[in-house]
Amino acid sequence: MMIDSTNALMAQAQASAQYGSQNNVSNHASQLTDGHVKTEAQARKAGQEFESMFLGQMLSHMFAGIETNETFGGGHGETMMRSLLVDEYAKEMTRAGGIGIANAVTREILKVQEG
Helix H, strand E, coil C: the string for 10-44 is HHHHHHHHHHHHHHHHHHHHHHCCCCCCCCHHHHH
Q: What is the mean pLDDT of residues 2-20?
A: 57
Task: Please check the confidence at residue 38 and state whether its pLDDT lies above 90.
Answer: no
Q: Which of 30, 79, 89 has its CA nearest to residue 57?
A: 89
Task: Please check the confidence at residue 94 and state whether its pLDDT lies above 80.
Answer: yes
Confidence of residue 20 (pLDDT cuts 50, 70, 90): low
Confidence of residue 2 (pLDDT cuts 50, 70, 90): very low
Would you say how long the chain is, in residues?
A: 115
* 9 compared with 101, residue with greater pLDDT: 101
Residues 6+ apart with CB under 8 A from 63: 82, 86
Q: What is the mean pLDDT of residues 27-33?
A: 61
* pTM score of the predicted model: 0.66
Report yes or no: 88 and 41 within 8 Å, Cβ to Cβ: no
